[in-house]
Structure 1
Amino acid sequence: MTLDELLTALGHADQTHVLPNGFNNPHSYRGYYDELAFEPAENISVADMAAAGWAAMDETFEGYKGGQFTMTGDTDCWLSFEGWAGGEPITTELLARLLAAGARPTLPGEVFQAPGNHVHFGYRCSTETGGCGYESPFHTRTEAAAQQGLDGHRATCTARPAGTDQPVTGTSGA
C-alpha cells in the first residue's frame, strides 16, 4: 500500500476510533531505505495514525546506513520498528484488520423525556458521563429531533471522552 492509499483509507475511517494495535513514528524502512515504515503502537486513534502519515509526506529521512530518502504519495509503507529489516508491508487487508479491532470512545450525553403533561424530549451533555454539563433549554416533540440536537451539540462540545485528549465529535450512530 502506498502512502497516498494509506492516507485515503485512514481518511475514510472514523477518526475517533482508538485501536488496540496501530502505528506511528514514521521512518525510513531498513529493508528498503526508499520505503516508509511506521513503528507498531498500542491504543492509538485513527486520527493519530493519519497524522503520522501526513507528517511523513514529502519528508526526507536518513537511511539506516546513510543516504537521504524523500517519502512521497507513491512510497510503499511497512509496519516495522526503526532499525529492523523485518516487519510486514502495510496492505489493504492488514489495515482492515487493524481498523476492525478499534473501539469508538463512548460519547457523553443523553436524550430524555421532559416532565409534564405533553410528550417532549430534550438532551443533556452530563458531566457524569464525561460531558460539558450543557442541557438544552428547549424541548422537541420527537426523540429523533432531540437526538439530532444532541449530535449537533457534540460537534462543538469541548468535553473530552475518558482516555483521550480528543474533543467529543460524531454522532451516536456507529
Structure 2
Amino acid sequence: MKTKSLLLAALFAALTAIGGFIKIPVPYVPFTLQIAAVYLAGCLLGPKLGMLSQLVYVLVGLAGAPVFAEGGGPSYVLQPTFGYLIGFVAGAYVNGWLMQIFQFRKAATVFLANLSTLFVVYLFGCAWLYIAMKWIVEKPLTVGQTLWFGFLLPVPGDLLLCAACSVLVARMLPRIHSVIRKQEVVS
C-alpha cells in the first residue's frame, strides 16, 4: 500500500475521532458527527481504504487513545454504543463498494450509497445496544425501546448529515478525478 493511501486512511480516522468530540447528549446513544467522516471515507477513499480508515480509528481507540465519544480502551467493547463503531467499519466498506460498482456521481445517487451506510451502522449499533443493555449493563431494553433510543432519536440528524455529505461528495468528485488524471499524465 502506498504512503499516500495510508496517510488518507489516517486522515479519515482522525476526522472520525474529531467527529466524536462534537456531540449532543441523547440517552444511550449520543448524536455525533462521526458518521459524516464514515460517509466521506467510503465515498472518497473506496471500499478497502475507507474500511481501513475506520478500522484504524476503532483499533486506536481500543488501544487506549480516548478517541471514542465516551473515551477509549479495550473495555469499550462492553459499552452499549460499541456496535455503532463496528458499523462504521462495515458501513464505510459497503459505501465505497457501491460507489465503485455503480459509479455514483450525482447527489441523489450518492445519497443512496450513504443511506446504505446509515442502514449498516444502525443495524450493528442497535443489535449491540440491545445485547449490551440486556447482558452487560443488565438494564434490558425492549426491542421498541432499543429502536427508539438507538435509531429513531439519532436518525434525523444523521439523515441531515447524509444529505449534506452527498451534496459535498457530488461536488468534490469531478475535481478529485481531474486532479487524479493530471497526476497520471505527469507521473
TM-score class, shorter-chain normalisation, is under 0.3
Larger helix share, 1 or 2: 2
TM-score (norm 2): 0.25
Higher RCO (Cα < 8 Å, 6 or more apart): 2
TM-score (norm 1): 0.27
Larger Rg: 1
Larger strand share, 1 or 2: 1
